[in-house]
């Protein structure tokens, strides 16, 4: 799977339980998780001060709401 990263938006890293990882922006996050991951077997990280930080459910819900995107997966 190929994604195009927009550097002006926040970058996310999705890591599956089998060790695969994907980098994407918030608008591509639904597609990546729904097509490549099993429910409950992945973790989402965002980068703060060039270090990966685990995304919480509350933070993810706020990001989707602020960008007016519907979250199509359970986290």
pLDDT digits (tens, 9 = 90+) for 30-42: 999 998 888 889 9
pLDDT at 10: 87
pLDDT in tens, 35-74: 888 888 999 999 888 899 999 999 999 999 999 999 999 8
Give the whole-angstrom CA distance, residue 56 versus residue 65: 14
- For residue 3, being part of any structural domain is answered with no
| Confidence (pTM) | 0.87
Number of domains within the chain: 1
Which residue range(s) make up the domain with 21?
11-66
Residue 2 lies in a domain: no
- The CA radius of gyration of the chain, in Å to the nearest whole number, is 12
Residue 72 lies in a domain: no
Query: From CA 53, how far away is CA 61, in angstroms rounded?
Result: 16
Q: Is residue 18 part of a domain?
A: yes
At 44, phi and psi to the nearest 5?
Answer: -115, 130
CA distances from 41 to 14, 17, 23, 36, 75 (A): 10, 5, 17, 11, 9
What's residue 6's pLDDT? Answer: 82
């Amino acid at each position: 799977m190929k994604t195009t990263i927009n550097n002006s938006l926040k970058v996310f890293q999705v890591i599956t339980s089998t060790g695969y990882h994907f980098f994407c922006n918030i608008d591509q996050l639904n597609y990546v998780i729904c097509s490549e991951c099993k429910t409950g077997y992945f973790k989402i990280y965002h980068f703060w001060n060039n270090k990966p930080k685990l995304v919480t459910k509350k933070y993810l819900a706020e990001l989707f709401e602020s960008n007016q995107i519907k979250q199509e997966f359970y986290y």
